[in-house]
A = this chain, B = another copy of it.
Amino acid sequence: MAPVAPIGQPAAAIDTPALVVDLDAMERNIAAMADDARRRGLRLRPHAKTHKSAWIAAQQIAAGAVGVCVQKTGEAEALAAAGVDDIFISNEVIDAGKLARVAALACRCRLALAVDSALGIERLAAAMLCEPGATIAVFVEIDVGQGRCGADATQAGVLARAVADAGLSFAGLQAYHGRAQHLRSSAERAAAIGLAAERVRLAQAAIAAQGLACPLISGAGTGSFVHESESGLWGELQAGSYVFMDRDYADNAPTDGAPRFEHALFVKSQVISRSADRAIVDAGHKCHAIDSGLPGVWDAPELEFGNGGDEHGILRRRSVSARLPALGETVWLVPGHCDPTVNLHDALIGVRGGLARGVVERLIAVDARGRLT
């Protein structure tokens, strides 16, 4: 069931806790990223695992994005059903039943998938045989420093050859370094992407040695895309979090030449208990993800948010002069990490005109919420 979203009413009327999008800020973020990619001559394929929303994907595509990425087959199905027609599942699928769903989806939209094993390629090819006429673009994922999925760069040639020999379309490399996004200094992020670029070059050489072309390198995120761009290797950017930003990204030192994205995603909460030294709000970690740390308090850096468990937050003063909000007062929070926070909500409430005096303009369905498989 969706939260109460009184369209046309003031933001003050939104029941708490609720996940609220500042539409003006989000639109500025979408435009800034699209302009930046255009200026660099790069394709932009924002990661929809951040927002899981077909409506937001449509705004990104209208601004110039070529399509979106997702991490799960179920996310791709949900977004395709809601009208998104160009989707890259930038992750591995191994289960034969799930690959049958991938193949079926390839009949309904433009689709791409990442692979990093001979078994994955073999099973994908078998699944695609059951959907004659359907095509899928296949990216070989290499590990560029994350230490998660992805083959060793030296294996990229063998895997690209296996893709081609299986009658599939080899589309290039998936080269994404998630951990690099959250290194705090720009120099650290540049160094990590420098190492990633070396692995991409190794992979390109291995692919060339197989006599194959490598059409595209896809990857990069909000924290590092300037560095991938400047390497001259990546042709497609997968940044996702820029659309909302979060407390964790705001903790990064800025990168020269990168747009300054704004916080556009907020938890509206209310003080439900108050004592002399603390104010308890009705938003805990069933409402905002804390994997990247606790939320910040918007517009009140003098207040510290303490972990109050699943359903509560504990606000305390950082200094004796700070004002603690009163019982019943609204407190706006900036989530630590936007992607898993959005996944906790059925809908986002879009506000126009600012948080304090804005008006509820729309309810944005989180179409792929909980689409885990």
Chain A interface residues toward B at CB < 8 A: 1, 3-4, 15-18, 49, 71-72, 74, 78, 91-95, 97-98, 116-117, 119-120, 143, 147-152, 178, 270-275, 278, 280, 283, 285-287, 289-291, 307-312, 314, 327-328, 339-340, 343-346, 370-373
Interfacial chain B residues near A278, Cβ < 8 Å: 147
Name the distance in Å between A76's Cβ and chain B's nearest Cβ: 13
**Is B286 touching A343 in the complex (CB atoms < 8 A)?**
yes
Interfacial chain B residues near A312, Cβ < 8 Å: 148-149
**Is B310 touching A71 in the complex (CB atoms < 8 A)?**
yes
Interface of A is mostly: loop
Asked if A95 meets B15 with Cβ closer than 8 Å, knowing A72-B311, A117-B274, A274-B117, the reply is yes
* Cα–Cα, bound, A273→B345 (Å): 29
What would be 11 A-B contacts, judged by CB atoms less than 8 Å apart? A3-B373, A15-B97, A16-B373, A91-B272, A92-B280, A95-B270, A149-B280, A178-B309, A285-B340, A291-B307, A346-B370
* Cα–Cα, bound, A290→B274 (Å): 28
Name the distance in Å between A310's Cβ and chain B's nearest Cβ: 5
* Cα–Cα, bound, A18→B93 (Å): 15
* Cα–Cα, bound, A274→B152 (Å): 11
Name the distance in Å between A317's Cβ and chain B's nearest Cβ: 15
Q: Which 5 A-B pairs have the closest CB atoms?
A: A149-B273, A92-B272, A71-B311, A94-B272, A15-B373
Interfacial chain B residues near A314, Cβ < 8 Å: 147-148
Name the distance in Å between A296's Cβ and chain B's nearest Cβ: 17
Interfacial chain B residues near A148, Cβ < 8 Å: 273, 280, 308-309, 312, 314
Interfacial chain B residues near A283, Cβ < 8 Å: 372
**Is A94 touching B149 in the complex (CB atoms < 8 A)?**
no
Name the distance in Å between A361's Cβ and chain B's nearest Cβ: 20
* Cα–Cα, bound, A109→B327 (Å): 28
Interface centre among A71, A74, A283 (most CB of B within 10 A): A71
* Cα–Cα, bound, A149→B328 (Å): 14
A-B contacts besides A117-B274, A148-B308, 12 pairs, CB < 8 Å: A1-B74, A16-B95, A49-B311, A72-B311, A92-B272, A93-B272, A148-B309, A150-B273, A287-B372, A310-B343, A344-B344, A344-B372
Name the distance in Å between A15's Cβ and chain B's nearest Cβ: 5
**Is A98 touching B370 in the complex (CB atoms < 8 A)?**
no
* Cα–Cα, bound, A93→B71 (Å): 38
Q: Which of B94, B309, B340 contacts A286 (CB 8 A)?
A: B340
Closest chain B residue, CB of each to CB of A346: B370
Interfacial chain B residues near A340, Cβ < 8 Å: 285-286, 310
